[in-house]
Amino acid sequence: MQKNNFNVFIPLLFAVVLAIGMQLGFKMYESIKGKSSKTASSFLSSGRGNSEFDEILNYVQAKYVDTVNVEQFTDRAFNRALHELDPHSSYISPSELQDVEESLQGNFDGIGVEFSIVKDTLVVITPIAGGPSEALGIRAGDKIVKINDSTAVKLDNEQIVKKLRGIRGTKVKVSIYRKGVPELLDFTITRDKIPLVSVDAGYMMDNQVGYIKVNRFSATTYEEFMTKLAALKESGMTKLILDLRQNPGGFLNAAVDIADEFLPGQSLIVYTEGRTYKRKDYKSGRDGLFEQGDLVVLVDEGSASASEIVSGAVQDWDRGEIIGRRSFGKGLVQEQYDLSNGGALRLTVARYHTPSGRCIQKSYEDGIDAYEEDLEHRYEDGELENPDSVSAKQKIDSSQVFKTKIKGRKVYGGGGISPDISVPLEKLSSAFVARARGVVPQFVYNYYSNHQPEFKQYATVDAFAKNFTISNAMFDEYEKTVKTELKILDEKQLNANRGLIETTMKAYFARQLWGNDGFYPIINKEDKTLQKAYQTILN
């Protein structure tokens, strides 16, 4: 059953890595954007190859037995051809380009709410601080049942996003059901720029160890990171755990800037080199805010591209310890070329190398399908559950041996960053517990919206963490929700895992009150990799 759970996770993980990881090196093309765009456009709009493609497309449209979605057909044809080159070169259609770039620009235009779909209904998790919804008094637990006088029930995530997002300054009307209010509440929200946070959390684990989690490397990541780092330093931090797990990458410059805060002088952080691109070195230059002090970087199979630049530089300079599991292995750099149709071509133009000379890119010689299935194979072969096994170590190309810059330790190229200390993938106790734990957010949203006054006594995250407990009555109510949603209730399994489930519930209640600043300090207590890092950094 564990395998099935992991298999469900793989396609989403790989899609995120591809979508965001392809942004690596995006900033590099700006200085030649005009020339490159013109060259790409003229190449794609003329020549024998394009004429042949048009001819084939005309036959398909005129003669094929069924109706063909021409846009989808051409998009797939372009991407299939590009994937013959490598897994990360891609064509992005005009309709996809805005969504792909928003996550890395660090903002979008919308109403400013985090939401979840609970029983076909849009439920506000929290209004984003400083956004237009918060200013109007929209609350966590509110249910948006109408958007512009049309029902918002039984819509999927994509449909809701399209309705709520729009050009800054335009208006959208929503009708909200709020517990205890007999009539629907109507709000007219003026859309505004909404920040997309790329640093999820930053807090003190004790009086000396700080923790920062970065979920991607966007245009605003360095600024967000420095805000957290400075605050932790002011709180007395002398040791830092940087969490890059499940971080699929992003902008090269953001990774370089963050690594610069850890490395002294003119230390090489990364270099890029390709057939038509001369080697370009990226070095530290400023006086970093954390050049001294113990450092641990967490990585796993979802850490890619920019995450591997930071962790690779830290490892190669013996600046800190890497803990977790072998990273994804994405070491290709793309440049973006704007196309005349409003889409874009992202083409691999170089490889990046860590300071010791390692190229982290894993092999794609067996084709895109094998490349996409690599994570599943790593699970099936036992690497993720036993990362120190002989079979796991054989996955690394032992012919590509390099040495770290200070201590001369052996490190290897050809397939991601291998951690200094490995922590196995945590097994779920059972499929039922995994599903029951998945019911927790829904239960918490509903309970909190019905009992908000009970939580006003907790002024801080620390006070909440120390004093709030899950009562037997609350857990009984949760069990009823599980039975309703899953059509089954295994009390023995729930009681055996009650500690884990109660911590999860407590973390989600804290998220209702303080967002991620409340969520991570509590949920991380059940994180075995982080706890291993914590014990390591104390010793």
Positions marked catalytic? 305, 316, 330
DSSP state of 455: G
Structure tokens at 195: 């920040």
β pairing state of 421-422 and 321-324:
parallel
Structure tokens at 456: 């006003």
The one-letter amino acid at 71: E
* Residues of the chain by 3-state class (helix, strand, coil), percent to 5: 45, 20, 35
Contact criterion met (CB below 8 Å) for 290 and 241: no
Reference 393, options 325, 474, 447; nearest CA is 325
The separation between the first and the last C-alpha atoms of the chain, rounded to the nearest angstrom, is 37
In the chain, what's the furthest Cα-to-Cα distance?
73
DSSP state of 428: P
Contact criterion met (CB below 8 Å) for 238 and 294: yes
Q: In sequence order, what are the residues at sequence separation of 6 or more whose Cβ sits closer than 8 angstroms to the Cβ of residue 26? A: 104, 251, 252, 334, 335, 336
Q: Cα–Cα distance between 396 and 381 in angstroms, integer?
A: 14
Q: Which residue has the tokens 């270099």?
A: 271
43-58: string of b/e by CB count within 10 Å (b at 16+)?
ebeeeeeeeeeeeeee
178-207: string of b/e by CB count within 10 Å (b at 16+)?
beeeeeeeebebebbebebbbbbbbbbbee
Q: Cα–Cα distance between 368 and 343 in angstroms, integer?
A: 22
DSSP state of 250: B
Reference 418, options 330, 306, 326; nearest CA is 326
Q: How many residues does this entry show for the chain?
A: 539
Contact criterion met (CB below 8 Å) for 454 and 464: no
Contact criterion met (CB below 8 Å) for 229 and 251: no
Q: Cα–Cα distance between 108 and 192 in angstroms, integer?
A: 8
3-class SS of residue 117: strand
Q: Which residue has the tokens 């860590």?
A: 354
Q: Cα–Cα distance between 363 and 252 in angstroms, integer?
A: 21
